[in-house]
Amino acid sequence: MSVDTATSSNPELMALIEKNFPTHRENSIVHGTIIEVRPQVVVVDISAKSEGIIPISEFEDEEFAVGDEIEVLLEKLENDEGMVVLSKEKAAHKQNWDKIVQVYEDGGLVKGKVKSVVKGGLMVNVGVEAFLPGSQIDIIPPKDLNEYVGKVYEFKIVKVNDIRKNIVLSRREVIEAERAEQRAEFLESVKVGDKVDGVVKNITDFGAFVDLQGMDGLLHITDMSWGRINHPSEMLAIGQTVHVIILDVDKDKERVSLGLKQLQDNPWEAIEAKYAIGTEVAGKITKLVPYGAFVEIERGVEGLIHVSELSWTKRITRPSDVLELEQEVKAVVLGINKEEQKISLGVRQLEPNPWDEVESRYPIGTTIKGEIRNLTPYGAFVELEDGIDGMIHVSDLSWTRKINHPSEVVKKGEETEAIVLEIDKTNQRISLGVKQLEGDPWSEIDTRFTVGDLVKGTVAKIASFGAFIQLEDDIDGLVHISQLSEDHVAKVKDVIKVGDDVEARVIKVDKVERRIGLSIKAAEYSEEQLKKETAAFDALRPSSDLVGLEQAFNLATEDWSPGGSEEAEAEAEAEAEAEKSED
């Protein structure tokens, strides 16, 4: 039997040999005794054939003395100098690493001290060096990582790489787990109506999230103030401690609704008694919008001045043209809607309405003078006084002329006379007339023009059916195409042109239809011949051969303007020709 066989079969003998002649393996942890302390190294006896040395730096922050027993890592049994190479730090690291791995596998927590700031996070000493990513430091992203250096926290180990000896930690998961427990406790204990303190965690456009012992509660913007606020940041700031009331608790969805304004009396409760209709109030403009201005008349109570309530007479299109933010104003209460928390205000009600007495200042039939302030296709506006205008409709500018636009007769900025025709106080309108300053010439037309009269005039307009002749006092007569010549006339302009002076015989006077029929070919007729032409003229069908004066003017193709150039006449002829060809 060999010695090895005999020894292996005798355990007691093996233990005795191991005790007196210990077997040391490299990269294992062994026990040693400090036998000497030198300036740079500590000499340790591990019962090997020679002592080992450890740099004194590995004993930093520790008390030690000769005779102390310590655990060290045996790196080499013998170096180039024949010495045993030991490491106290590596022994601790190996022991700690095993503990860390065990904690990781068990899902436990580990304490550690933050050593330094590195790219992407922090380095932490948990017995071995570990990395804490910036995203895992807290539930709220930290602004300054240096504030964590030197502090001790609990961490969850989220990753271990045994080959690379890398460890990744998370403090955020620890905090979230704690908050989950706190949330559960909070939801079990809290009820609607409770008043609690919290810290503003985040602010959004629609409200603020408040941290309530690990539970996030929503304080909606509408529950912050009885008054109107544009953004929650006007009242709150992140990190601010607020005293709030619980409005609603949803345990299933873990949601809590909070209120701030509910801790104060509702100013709208007695609003109708405090601000009766017609009451004059004072306040500050808080917001300007296209349709009006909001005025704070007391904390939590705002009223709206609609743009239409700013002035009795001025046409204000935007409130910002006459008002400014923060401006102090006075107004009158016009209406209150308690349910919708709305108050209607007016500024113009502070002064008398000039339209209330407009009938006494401008009785119907009164002749007024005023400056033409504006022209539109349908009439001219005349300023009677500051803020009050009257309108001359285009049809009230002339008895005899067909006017397409007021600019043919009047100009902006010039002074004119007119007669007040009608007043509509409700819609704030005054109707004026210019033609009414003179008598209607058509009322006595039969005394001025009789059948058979020989008259002179100027061709003013030409249509396919005839020509309009401007007579005295701007009265027009119509020469039908059949009355131009004894010969057949195919086109009016072949016989007559705009601007020509002509002589014609009156063959028809219609006072009701405001028409005068003329005949150029009958200028030299006898009385008997004239009667026949009049009868023939009366026989014309009004719907096709002869139209009313106003309609005929609309159909006319050429206008006459005194002093018109030959170019203008040529252009008018061309337009008339085009219209004829279409017909």
Per-domain residue ranges of the chain: 18-91, 107-175, 190-263, 292-350, 355-437, 450-582
Residue 15 has pLDDT above 90, yes or no: no
Dump strand ranges (E) for 142-234: 152-161, 166-170, 195-203, 207-212, 215-220
Query: What pLDDT does residue 12 have?
Result: 60
Query: What pLDDT does residue 6 have?
Result: 46
Residue whose tokens read 């005025």: 295
- Selecting from 2.40.50.140, 3.40.50.300, 3.40.50.150, 2.60.120.680, what CATH number does the domain 18-91 have? 2.40.50.140
Terminal-to-terminal C-alpha distance of the chain: 143
Query: Measuring CA to CA, which residue among 13, 382, 581, 330 is closest to residue 5?
Result: 13
Query: What pLDDT does residue 419 have?
Result: 92
140-182 confidence digits (pLDDT tens): 788 888 999 999 999 998 898 877 778 899 999 888 888 888 8
Query: What pLDDT does residue 330 have?
Result: 93
Give the mean model confidence (pLDDT) for residues 269-296. 89
When mean pLDDT is compared across 6-15, 200-209, 415-424, 486-495, the lowest value belongs to: 6-15
Dump strand ranges (E) for 171-265: 195-203, 207-212, 215-220, 241-250, 255-259
- Selecting from 3.30.300.30, 3.30.450.20, 2.40.50.140, 1.25.40.10, what CATH number does the domain 190-263 have? 2.40.50.140
> CATH 3.20.20.370: does it fit domain 355-437?
no
Query: What pLDDT does residue 553 have?
Result: 46
Residue 581 has pLDDT above 70, yes or no: no
Query: Measuring CA to CA, which residue among 326, 269, 329 is closest to residue 301?
Result: 269
Q: Which amino acid, one-letter code, is at 287?
A: K
- Confidence band, pLDDT 50/70/90 cuts, at residue 555: very low
Cα distances (angstroms) measured from residue 527 to each of 155, 447, 480, 494, 523: 128, 19, 20, 28, 11
Give the mean model confidence (pLDDT) for residues 538-566. 44
Neighbours of 135 (CB within 10 A): 11
**In the predicted model, what is the mean pLDDT of the chain?**
80
Specify the higher pLDDT residue, 164 or 311: 311
Question: What CATH topology corresponds to 292-350?
Answer: OB fold (Dihydrolipoamide Acetyltransferase, E2P) (2.40.50)
Residue 575 has pLDDT above 60, yes or no: no
Confidence (pTM): 0.43
- Confidence band, pLDDT 50/70/90 cuts, at residue 316: confident
Residue 328 has pLDDT above 80, yes or no: yes
27-70 confidence digits (pLDDT tens): 677 888 888 888 888 888 888 777 888 887 777 767 778 788 87
When mean pLDDT is compared across 83-97, 330-344, 395-409, 465-479, the lowest value belongs to: 83-97
Hey, is 223 helix, strand or coil? helix
Query: What pLDDT does residue 315 have?
Result: 79
**By the 8 A CB rule, do 155 and 140 touch?**
no
71-127 confidence digits (pLDDT tens): 777 777 777 677 787 877 677 777 778 788 888 888 888 888 999 999 999 998 887
> CATH 3.10.20.30: does it fit domain 450-582?
no
> CATH 2.40.50.140: does it fit domain 107-175?
yes
Query: What pLDDT does residue 572 have?
Result: 37
Query: Measuring CA to CA, which residue among 132, 122, 121 is closest to residue 158?
Result: 132
Query: Measuring CA to CA, which residue among 518, 443, 507 is closest to residue 476?
Result: 518
Helix (H) or strand (E) holding 88, with range, is helix 88-106
Residue 368 has pLDDT above 80, yes or no: yes
DSSP string for 293-323? EEEEEETTEEEEEEGGGS-SS---S-GGGT-
Which of 12-16, 117-121, 527-531 tops mean pLDDT? 117-121
